[in-house]
Amino acid sequence: KLLAERQAFWHEFWPKSFLHITSPRGEGDFLENLWHLFFYDLASMSRGTLCPKLNGGNWMVEKDSRWWGGGYWHQNTREIFWPAYAANRVELTQPFFDLYGRAAACARENGRVGLGVDGYYIPEWIPIHVAAAKARRQIKPPGGYTAFIFTVGLEVSLQAWWRYEFTGDERFLREYA
């Protein structure tokens, strides 16, 4: 039954977007293979409860050793999802929005307590406990040069707008964005 479900998923998945590149010396074929491998990885990692991570995702090769730790760094996480819009794979972006949606309560608290404003502040780094559940406490940025990157909320909003532009999903725009 599990095999039949997986086969049905991939049978439906691949025809939705297609890329064919070829070139005399093989560079195009190589790029096409990378494209298919990327979307295979993203589709494999975007069906669970956690957002795919930049540093290994689900494909850890050395236990669970991650050079950048277990949290999410926005500057790297956002890039994983950029190709999904133009490739007609918008559904693969859902874990990205789930991650930042779960962080909304913390972001509101960050604005109030951390910055003294009635607004949201999403730091560059979000710890894994926020990614896994609806946390209700302030997210403490790791400090250093990333402590005052104020563009994360703007960039998450931009991706929400891209999603709306590619889908026309006004409900998503109203309820999430």
Nearest to 120 by CA among 155, 96, 93, 163: 155
Helix (H, G, I), strand (E, B) or coil at 169: coil
Q: Tell me the per-residue pLDDT of 20-58, one tens digit each, with 9 for 90 and over.
A: 999 999 999 999 999 999 999 999 988 877 888 876 666
Contact between 42 and 97 under an 8 Å Cβ cutoff? The reply is no
Local mean pLDDT, 10-residue blocks, the chain (177 residues): 96 91 97 94 85 72 64 88 93 92 84 86 80 61 71 93 94 90
Residue corresponding to tokens 């996480």: 77
pLDDT on residue 109: 83
> Angle CA(13)–CA(15)–CA(18) in degrees, nearest 5?
110
Distance CA 157, CA 32 (A): 30
